[in-house]
Structure formats: C-alpha cells, structure tokens
Structure 1
C-alpha cells in the first residue's frame, strides 16, 4: 500500500489523503507493472465476456486478500476509531448490471464484514441510478451503447442516490482504479462531503502510471 494526495481542483474543494495498492497500466502495457492486477479486469466482467464462475471466484479471492491486508493499515494511518466503507459505483445504472458484474462491490462488503467493528459496511450507500459514459472503453464496441455523460463536476450528485446515513461519518471511499485528471473520484469525494460526511479518505486497488493508461479496451 502506498500513500498519495488527491489535489483539490474544480471538482474537489480540498486535498484528500489517498492510498493505492499497486501501479496500473493499460492491458497492452501490463509488462510495465509488477504483479499486474489482472483480477480487476476479470471482476469488471464487461460486455460479452461472461467469465466462468471459477475464474470470477479466483479474482474475488485475490481482491479479498489485498483488502484484508490494506484496510487495517489505512485505519491505523488515519488515526480514526472507525471507517465506513463506500464504493464508487460503476458507470451505468446499477440495475442494468448482472450480479456477476458487481462482484467488486460484493467482495469489499465481504472484507468489511470480516474485519469487524473497526469498519462499517456502507457499500450500498451510493447507488448509480442514471447511466454515465464508461470511461475505460477506448473504442466503440459492437452491440454496446456507451450512453451517458462524460465525467463533469457534479455528475455524482446528479446520477447517484446517496444514503442519509453518510452524515457525520468518516468515510473510506474505494474505487478499483484511480486516474489523475479524469475527476470521477474527485467529484465523488466532494459529493460525500456535501452530503455531510465528516471526512473522506480514498483508496484504490490500482493507480494508473499515466493518464492514457486508464483506457483498457
């Protein structure tokens, strides 16, 4: 686990403490990254891939191991008594995904429940209700309508439902991949603060080593 700072910008009013588990690059540039987190791509299970059950379960086990190792360290670094774990939702409305396309969130919930009272499960506190542009698709894909708006300041509030339970809580916001200048995570952090979160700490499994590597297909 490595620390970094998410700098304030037009979508985020204050610097935010962030952490990430490993570097990340586009699949075609995976040789640039030691221990490339292939399990993240597997858990996306996008489009017509429809991975078999054993492959998905193996990916979940890899992710769970990372979470059980990193999350206690983040709590220790934060000097907080408890963190409520929320997840950046996928780009499309949640009810448009199959259950086997939501396993990233499910695995985070499982990790939180295994870690005990130091963590609170808020994985359903943010739910996407309106489609947005899927930013990790580089090219159009036959049979897939990548509809919705590209990231903009305020998109989280306008396309997601936020639980009232967020008020007054110290939030650990988790995403699979962080990429500087896309502003999806910055906007979500600001939305949580606007909805009354006491504090927000950010954590991603992968952090892209350059802007272009966010686009993986």
Structure 2
C-alpha cells in the first residue's frame, strides 16, 4: 500500500491523507488490478459468473491487506466506509454493475474497526464518465465533466455522515480529474469529522 497527500485545490479546501494499493497501468499490464473491470460488468463486456466471483475474491483480498493498515495509521477508533458512486445515476445500474460498492460495504460490515456507510452517497444525476476515450456502442456518455461542487449537485448525502470519521473508497484515483477531491469536500460540507481517502488503483502518469 502507498500513502500520499490529496492536496487542497479549487475542489478541496484542505489537505487530506490518502492511500492506494497499486498503480493502474491499464488492462493486461503486469500487476494491474484488472479485476476492477469485472466488478463494473458493463454491457460491452461479457464476463462469466466465474470471472465475477474471482474479481470479488480479488477485491476482498486487497481490502484485507490494506484496511487493517489504514486503521492503524488514523486517529479514529472506527472508520465509516463510504464509496464514491459510479458516474451515472445509481437507479440506471443493475445490481451486478454495482459489485465494487457491494463488496466494499460487505467487507466493512464484517471487519472490526469499520462501519458500513456504502449507501451514504447515492448518485441521482448523470455525470460524464471521464475515463472513456472512445464511444461505446449503446452507451450515451451524458452528464457534465467535473466542476467544483458537482458531487453535491448530483448526489444525495446521508445525514448519518455528520460527526463521523470517514474512509472514502474509490476504484481508481486520477489526480487531475478531481472527482475524488470534490467528493471529499462534499463529505466535509455534510459534517464529516474527518476524511481519509483510499483507492485500489492510482493512475501514475497523472499523479
């Protein structure tokens, strides 16, 4: 696991501690967490149920390595685990397209030192999927690109966030996109006592 500082900028008004498991170099590259693709289960892929089960196991393995190390390094007895929602409104996804969130939430529920807040942030308005470089047949990539305040404008935040120490989890962190910085700021705006960020993958060429 790697530690970094999520730096204050126009999206985020303070520095926040961050962690990531591994660099994300792209599908098929050595050491790349390719299992993340399978947990999205998007229509242009045709993953088997076995592939998906293996991906869930791979994610649980990574969480089992990193989460205990994170809780040792923070000044909190319990971290409430929230998940950065996918780019489109949650109601537009099938349950098997939300397996990253479901797996992270299940891990938090079953692990001492963590509480499940995976339903504390729900996307209600589409945003632009930022990592798609080329059009995908049958997929309309509508919604706005990141701007300061987009998380608050496009998501519902639970009142249970107030007063909690939050571990915000995303699948991939890309520094220049600012989706995660804006989401961290929204958590503070909704009363979080503290926020720590964690991603499975980090995009190194932009970090």
Say whether the 8 Å CA contact 1:68–1:115 is kept in structure 2.
Answer: no
- TM superposition shift of 1:79: 2.7
Specify every segment of 5 or more residues in structure 1 that has no aligned partner in the other structure, as ranges. 213-217
Tell me the residue number matched to 1:112: 108
Q: Which runs of 4+ in 1 moved over 4 A?
A: none
SS of the aligned residue for 1:56 comes to helix
Partners of 2:38 and 2:74 lie apart in 1 by 31
Name the one with the larger helix percent. Answer: 1
Q: For 1:11 and 1:47, how far apart are their aligned partners in 2?
A: 32
Query: Pick from 26, 37, 42: which aligns with 1:41?
Result: 37
Structure 1 residues 145-171: Cα deviation after superposition (integer angstroms, max 9, x where no partner): 100001111000000000000000000
1:99 aligns with 2:95: yes
Verify: 1:178 aligned to 2:173, yes or no: yes
1:1-217 map, 5 Å = 1-27=1-27, 30-31=28-29, 34-116=30-112, 118-211=113-206
Q: How many residues align?
A: 207
SS of the aligned residue for 1:150 comes to: coil
RMSD across aligned positions (CA): 1.2
CA distances 1:18-47 after superposition (whole Å, capped 9, x unpaired) = 0000011233xx53xx42111011112123
Consecutive unaligned residues of structure 2, counting only runs of 5 or more, are: none
